[in-house]
Every structure is written in structure tokens, then in C-alpha cells.
Structure 1
Amino acid sequence: MLTSVGTVLLLLCALQIKHMFADYYMQTPKMLSGRGEYLHMGRAQHAGIHAIGSFLVLVLFGAPFLFSLVLAGIEWVVHFNIDYCKARYSDAKQYTPTQAGFWRAAGTDQAAHHLTYIAMVWAWVVYTG
């Protein structure tokens, strides 16, 4: 089956909307505190919300269950580590929201997440389209 450009763009938009809610509306204080330590349960839960959301979006777009589960698991690992790197870097530099470095770190973090979604959409096209 040939996947249309419109469907690819809709999937990417759905993942972006999911990201907005998971990153900006659904984080708890536990998820936001102590993020500079690697084995952080709050970050694991936060990455889990992203993975569950992506799984649901992929299934909604007709991806097979197992494919969606594997891709969501990969996203969990990637998201967890992207967030750790940003937190570790920002903590080491002692950045606050009033400093440009804080926003550069936040922007790099968000770009990495969005590039992850582009890779996920590519995998969806190649392996399910």
C-alpha cells in the first residue's frame, strides 16, 4: 500500500500534539524534580506517558500492534535518555530560565524529540506502508 503524504503529515501532527500534552500538561512534580540523576522514577514515568501516547497514535493510524509496541519501547528509551542529558547538562551549568543557555538546552531537547518522531514516521512508512 502506498502511503500518502497527507497521511504521513497527519501522523506527524498527531505525534506532535501528543508530545505537547505529555511534555507540558501531564508532568507531575515527581517527574520534574531530581531529573539530573540517571535512575529517576519520575523521568521513567514521563517517558512512559510518551510511549503510551505514541503507541495509541500508531495503532490509531493502522500500525500493527507488535510494531507499535516495539516502536513505543524504543521511544521510551530514547526519550528517557534525551531528557536525562538535558537535565544533567542544565544542572552542571546551573542554568535557570532567565539564562539563554537554559533555553538552548530546552530547544535542543525538543529538537531531539521531534527528530525522534520523524524517525518513527519513517519507520511507519517503511515497515507498515
Structure 2
Amino acid sequence: MTAPIGTLLILLCLLQIKHMFADYFLQTPRMLSGRGQYLHLGRAEHAGVHALGSVIAFLLVGAPLPFIVVIVILEWILHFHIDFWKARQCDQKQLDPFKPAFWRASGVDQALHQFTYVAMIWAWAEFAV
């Protein structure tokens, strides 16, 4: 395996670990309540936790600081809006974990986050390596 491929796989793992902690271990009650409002401080903080985790991941693989700043700002914007979409779906359709549509919305939400990581890794390989 070449060094860039190995580093790419490490970066992918770092982003997955970051995602697990940010989405499942580090959410506060403020991050989880009232998410259907567009201007929601908790969702902004949650997206910030993701962005901070990505800063750490990209620093660990030696990405240049200007690249990191741009990529995490873009990630913050995307994460904020992906989560807003899911919250609006759940609010408008009154979805809860006992309804199959809740899990479809959650699946789309998680897939969009994963596609974001694919794009971030592509950008890293294209512009930062």
C-alpha cells in the first residue's frame, strides 16, 4: 500500500471516529431540543463540535492550516443544514423512533454526512497532499 492511500484510510477512520463521538456521545440537551428552528444555537454548537473534530483529524494527517480552515467552514455549513433538514422532516411529519419514516430520514441524514466526508477526503487528496 502506498503512503497516500494509507493516510487516506487513516483520515477516513479519524473522521468516522469523530462522527461517532460528535453525533452519539457529545450531544447536549440544548443540541437535541428545538432543532426544527432554523436559527438554532444547539445545532450550531453541534456542527461546531463536528468541525473541531475535523480540525483535529486533518491536523493529525498534516494538512495545511489554510486548507483546514476552508474545509471545516464548509463542513460546518453542510452539517448545520443537513441536520436542519432532518429536524424539519421529523417535526413536519411528527416522526419518532417508532415510525419507519423516522429511520428513513435518519438514514438519509447519515448518508449525507458520509458523502460530506467523501468530498472532504477528495478535497484533501486533491488540494492538500
TM-score bracket for this pair, using the shorter chain length: over 0.9
8 Å contact 1:86–1:105 — kept in the other structure?
Answer: yes
What whole-Å deviation, never above 9, does each CA across 1:33-84 have from its counterpart, x for those lacking one? 0000000000000000000110111011100011101101110000000000
* RMSD of aligned residue pairs (Cα, Å): 1.0
Letter of the structure 1 residue corresponding to residue 36 of structure 2 = G
Secondary structure of residue in 2 paired with 1:55: helix
The aligned counterpart of 1:92 is 92
What whole-Å deviation, never above 9, does each CA across 1:12-40 have from its counterpart, x for those lacking one? 11101100000000000000000000000
What whole-Å deviation, never above 9, does each CA across 1:72-109 have from its counterpart, x for those lacking one? 11100000000000000111010110111000000100
Pair 1:6 & 2:10 matched: no
Q: Structure 1 CA distance, aligned partners of 2:107 and 2:14?
A: 20
8 Å contact 1:31–1:41 — kept in the other structure?
Answer: yes
Q: Which runs of 4+ in 1 moved over 2 A?
A: none
Letter of the structure 1 residue corresponding to residue 61 of structure 2 = F
TM-score, scaled to structure 2: 0.96
Q: Structure 1 CA distance, aligned partners of 2:106 and 2:6?
A: 30
Q: Structure 2 CA distance, aligned partners of 1:27 and 1:102?
A: 19
Question: Any unmatched runs of 5+ in structure 1?
Answer: none
Pair 1:46 & 2:50 matched: no
Identity %: 57
Select between 24-33 and 8-17 the one with higher mean Cα deviation. Answer: 8-17
Secondary structure of residue in 2 paired with 1:86: helix
